[in-house]
Amino acid sequence: MTDIIKVPAPDGNGTVDGIDVQIDEAIERWSDYKLSDGTQIRVKQNVLRCVKILEKFDPDGNPVYMIQSVPLMTVISTAKVN
């Protein structure tokens, strides 16, 4: 049996019931950005935890999930300074 946990409500009002959902597979791709100063950065989010909110659904009828994630960023190159 899966334990029910309390998590912050998506709307910020109190808490709601949820269950931890195990991540079985992940494909974590980077997104590359070139900034106006010539710097190039690479970013992605690593998901640490996924919680399915019980009895909550979006307008299309899909279940609502909350994630705990960590943003990662690395500088690929910087602008050359003269």
53-81: per-residue pLDDT in tens? Answer: 999 999 999 999 999 999 999 999 997 76
Q: Which domain holds residue 58?
A: 4-77
What's the confidence (pLDDT) of residue 1? 58
**Cβ of 63: how many Cβ atoms within 10 Å?**
12
Residue 52 lies in a domain: yes
Residue 28 lies in a domain: yes
**pLDDT > 90? residue 2:** no
Residue 20 lies in a domain: yes
What's the confidence (pLDDT) of residue 10? 79
| CA 70 to each of CA 35, 46, 49: distance values in angstroms, whole numbers, following the listed order | 22, 5, 10
pTM: 0.74
Nearest 5°: phi and psi at 31? Answer: -110, 130
Non-local (6+) Cβ contacts of 41 within 8 A are 32, 33, 35, 73, 74, 75, 76
Total number of domains constituting the chain? 1
Residue 82 lies in a domain: no
What's the confidence (pLDDT) of residue 81? 66
